[in-house]
């Protein structure tokens, strides 16, 4: 089954968890026992409404503080579609978790509290959605019940966001504005009868229409080899298969390919999935491929079609979202993981910090601190096979790992 992955974003108390709870409740995805638990806890806390955030805030600390700290993945389906929602934290110190949740999303919902309008976090989340090039973005103008369902209020927020969007360099983004009250259920699943001025769809109607296939943006085909399969059994004595996932397009028997970085040319001999052989494998498939020639291929190598080679380089220009308390500075060394390939990286220059309100850059900063986004140059210990992030998302992104702590400390988007 194909699923639509959605990320949510919004400032603290904009009601993300409530919105997700409402979606689950109105689509009858909350089972009786979970609903009973929410009813009981809501009563215990003296609420006169059902606190749907209790359905998603899974950690003790989250329920204590009434906030979302880490990404929760929530699953529900309607008759038309299956969904995975990444419920991401609104607090500024958890921006890295928002990037985590949004990196695999095909669509994003940015919540705005109608009373407060566009706030600092809105800029940031909108900016990250642009950086990640998420194609479908829903601007959910929430808590309309607290502004008397005012069309004027809705229009002014819409105008502000549209102005922001005009400054973004990613132009393929589809923006959809929906006024709602997650608490009362207006325009989430049920059409509101309090906002006749809004002629658009409810959130669920809109989400059901989005096509999950859309986001597999097609590009040149990339096949990074994860591992080499050599059974060495009697039956498969000479079998030498390259296991990996196909990104960006299809591969077929007879395709002329180049193995990188060795630049060896060969032809696809067979494509296997479990105990069957196929003539063609489509985008996104984890398969095993054999080649006509006995060439040397190992983990981290890449099979691509002839004349569709990526850039092979030991220098990177990238936009980095920094995720660690210890700031990123010039001359520091990290491990870099690019797809399934590993190398070491030295920061040669921190060129600028990008202002997430789209107001420009701070040039030549001394460092990139936690949750900051900036342009950085890196030197690599070995050549990597790269595309720009705008050309191929999976081959245009990388992570940085601190060699002392082994933690993932930054995510990079190759320019």
Partner 1 sequence: MNQKTIQVEALESEAIYIFREVVAQFEKPVLLFSGGKDSITLVRLAQKAFFPAKIPFPLLHIDTGHNFPETIEFRDRLVKELGVDLIVRDVQDNINSGRVKEETGRYASRNMLQTETLLDAIEEFSFDACVGGARRDEEKARAKERIFSVRDDFGQWDEKNQRPEVFDMLNGRIDLGQNVRVFPISNWTELDVWSYIKKEDIEIPSIYFAHKRKTFLRDGFIWSADDAIVYRDKEEAVLERMVRFRTVGDMSCTAAVLSNAVDIAKVVEEIRDSSISERGARIDDKRSEAAMEKRKQQGYF
- Kindly identify the residues of this chain, within the stretch 254-273, that bind partner 1 according to CB under 8 A: 271-273
Question: Which is nearer to partner 1, 212 or 295 (by Cβ)?
Answer: 212
Judged by beta carbon, residue 102 or residue 157, the one nearer partner 1 is: 102
Minimum CB–partner distance for residue 136 and partner 1 (Å):
17
Nearest approach in angstroms of CB 25 to partner 1 is 13
**x/- site string to partner 1, residues 332 to 371, per CB under 8 A?**
---x-xxxx-------------------------------
CB nearer partner 1, residue 248 or residue 339:
339
Count of residues that interact with partner 1, criterion CB under 8 A? 83
Instruction: Tell me the closest approach of the beta carbon of residue 196 to partner 1, in angstroms.
Output: 35
Report the residue number, 131 or 257, with the smaller CB distance to partner 1: 131
Binding mask 142-171 for partner 1 (x = CB under 8 A): ------------------------------
Residue 128 interacts with partner 1 (CB under 8 A): yes or no = no
Nearest CB to partner 1, comparing residues 129 and 176: 129
182 lies in the binding site for partner 1 (CB under 8 A): no
Q: In whole angstroms, give the CA distance from residue 88 to residue 7.
A: 7
Q: How far apart are CA 13 and CA 299, in angstroms?
A: 45
Whole-number minimum distance, CB 110 to partner 1, in Å? Answer: 19
Burial (0-12, 13-18, 19+ Cβ within 10 Å), 84: middle
CB-nearer residue toward partner 1: 119 or 253? 253
Residues 3-42 that bind partner 1 (CB under 8 A): 3, 31-34, 37, 41
Nearer CB in complex with partner 1: 49/274 = 274
Q: Write the interaction track for partner 1 spanning residues 89-118; mark x where CB under 8 A is met and - where it is not.
A: -------xx-xx--xx--------------
Q: Which is nearer to partner 1, 285 or 351 (CB)?
A: 285
CB within 8 Å of 83: residues ≥ 6 apart: 3, 4, 5, 6, 75, 76, 77, 207
User: 214 phi and psi, to 5 degrees?
Assistant: -50, -40
Cα angle value 372/376/380 (rounded, 5°): 130
Task: Please report, as residue ranges, which positions from 374 to 393 form the binding site for partner 1 (by CB under 8 A).
Answer: 393
Query: Can you tell me the distance from the alpha carbon of 358 to that of 127, in angstroms, rounded to the nearest whole number?
Result: 7
CA distance 14 to 302: 44
Q: Is the peptide bond before 400 cis (omega within 30 degrees of 0)?
A: no
In 3D space, the residue among 191, 157, 149, 194 whose CA is nearest the CA of residue 175 turns out to be 157
CB of 213 to partner 1, least distance (A): 10
CB 121 within 8 A of CB 11: yes
Contacts of partner 1 in 46-85 (CB under 8 A): 55-61, 63, 69-75, 77, 82, 84
Q: How far is the CB of 315 from partner 1 (least distance, A)?
A: 20
Please choose, from the candidates 177, 120, 112, 173, the residue with its C-alpha nearest in 3D space to the C-alpha of residue 147: 112
Helix (H) or strand (E) holding 87: strand 82-87
Dihedral of CA 218/222/223/226: which sign? negative
Q: Give the containing element (helix H, strand E) for 37.
A: helix 32-44
d(CA 189, CA 281): 38
In whole angstroms, the minimum distance from the beta carbon of 381 to partner 1 comes to 16
Nearest to partner 1 of 278, 358 (CB atom)? 278
Tokens 């001999």 found at? 269
- Minimum distance of partner 1 from residue 244's CB (angstroms): 8
Q: Which of residues 186-245 bind partner 1 (CB under 8 A)?
A: 212, 226-227, 229-233, 235-236, 239, 241, 243-245
278 is a contact residue toward partner 1 (CB under 8 A) = yes
Q: Measured from the CB atom, is 31 or 190 closer to partner 1? A: 31
* Pairwise CA distance, residues 24 & 13, whole Å: 19
DSSP annotation of 190 reads B
Residue 152's H or E segment, with its range, is helix 151-167
Does residue 399 touch partner 1 according to CB under 8 A? yes
């Amino acid at each position: 089954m194909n699923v639509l992955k959605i990320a949510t974003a919004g400032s603290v108390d904009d009601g993300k968890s409530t919105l997700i709870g409402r979606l689950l409740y109105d689509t009858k995805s909350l089972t009786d026992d979970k609903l009973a638990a929410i009813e009981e806890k809501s009563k215990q806390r003296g609420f006169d409404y059902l606190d749907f955030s209790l359905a998603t805030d899974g950690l003790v600390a989250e329920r204590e503080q009434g906030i979302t700290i880490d990404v929760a993945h929530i699953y529900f389906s309607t008759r038309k579609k299956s969904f995975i929602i990444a419920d991401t934290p609104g607090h500024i110190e958890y921006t890295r978790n928002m990037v985590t949740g949004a990196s695999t999303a095909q669509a994003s919902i940015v919540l705005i509290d109608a009373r407060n309008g566009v706030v600092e976090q809105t800029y940031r989340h909108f900016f990250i959605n642009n950086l990640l090039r998420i194609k479908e973005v829903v601007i959910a103008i929430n808590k309309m019940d607290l502004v008397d369902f005012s069309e004027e209020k809705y229009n002014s927020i819409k105008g502000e966001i549209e102005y922001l969007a005009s400054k973004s360099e990613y132009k393929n983004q589809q923006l959809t504005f929906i006024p709602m009250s997650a608490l009362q259920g207006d325009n989430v699943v049920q059409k509101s009868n309090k906002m006749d001025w809004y002629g658009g769809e409810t959130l669920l109607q809109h989400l059901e229409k989005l096509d999950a296939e859309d986001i597999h943006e097609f590009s040149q085909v990339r096949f990074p080899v994860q591992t080499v399969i050599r059974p060495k059994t009697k039956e498969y004595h000479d079998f030498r298969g390259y296991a990996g996932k196909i990104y960006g397009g299809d591969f077929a028997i007879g395709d002329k390919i180049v193995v990188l970085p060795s630049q060896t040319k060969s032809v696809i001999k067979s494509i296997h999935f479990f105990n069957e052989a196929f003539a063609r494998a489509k985008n996104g498939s984890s398969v095993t491929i054999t080649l006509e020639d006995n060439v040397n291929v190992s983990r981290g190598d890449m099979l691509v079609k002839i004349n569709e080679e990526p850039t092979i380089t030991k220098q990177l220009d990238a936009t980095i979202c920094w995720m660690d308390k210890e700031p990123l500075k010039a001359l520091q060394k990290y491990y870099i993981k690019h797809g399934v390939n590993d190398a070491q990286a030295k920061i040669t220059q921190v060129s600028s910090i990008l202002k997430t309100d789209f107001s420009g850059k701070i040039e030549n900063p001394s460092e990139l601190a936690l949750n900051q986004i900036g342009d950085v140059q890196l030197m690599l210990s070995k050549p990597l096979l790269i595309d720009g992030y705008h050309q191929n998302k999976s081959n245009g992104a990388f992570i940085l790992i601190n060699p002392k702590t082994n933690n993932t400390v930054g995510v990079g988007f190759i320019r």
